[in-house]
Amino acid sequence: MGPADDSYDLSLAAASLRSNSADVHVLLKALSSELSDTLGERLQMEHVGGRFRKSDVIASVRIAMGNDTFEAVIEGPVLRCSVGHSSGGIRIRSETVEMNEWIVRLLGALQSEAAHSESARLALEHIVIGGIQ
């Protein structure tokens, strides 16, 4: 199974992520930990808490991949997701999407990157095949 194969069922992987992590805090933490090594500085997380008292609970995640920026913000029990698109470093549009679509689009961007990055391919395989616990 190659990284660019259609055998990666991204909708199924998104459903698996959601079912394994019903709590949005757990979902973002697990997804972020899977992608942190692969994405490095392109993955930015904000934690709950004030300036001097931060916890390990994630409040928001921002992921830059290519010309797209994936943002997820936890507001109470709800995960607010958006995808922004830039051209020449200028954001030209941003759209609010449902959590499932956000996950599918994020995994799709990771799949595109996996075509030329071994670490992205391994992260995608672990998410799709291994699932996030």
Residue with more model confidence, 127 or 90 = 90
Please choose, from the candidates 23, 27, 131, 17, the residue with its C-alpha nearest in 3D space to the C-alpha of residue 77. 23
C-alpha 65, offset from chain centre: 10
- 3, part of any domain: no
Question: 125: which strand partners?
Answer: none
What CA–CA distance (Å, rounded) separates 84 from 5?
Answer: 26
Residue 63 lies inside a defined structural domain of this protein: yes
Percent of the chain whose predicted confidence (pLDDT) is above 90:
24
32-57: average pLDDT = 82
Are 81 and 102 in contact by the 8 Å Cβ rule? The answer is yes
Assigned domain for 48 exists:
yes
Where in the sequence is the domain holding 117, given as residue range(s)? 10-130
- Which of 6-20, 58-72, 117-131 has the largest mean confidence? 58-72
Structural domain includes residue 96: yes
**What pTM did the predictor assign?**
0.76
Work out how many domains the chain is built from and give that number: 1
Distance, in Å, from the CA atom of 61 to the CA atom of 66, rounded to the nearest integer, reads: 16
Whether the pLDDT of residue 128 is over 80: the answer is: no
Which residue is listed with tokens 């004030």?
50
Domain membership of residue 46 (yes or no) is yes
Does the pLDDT at position 13 exceed 80? no
Whether 1 is covered by a domain: the verdict is: no
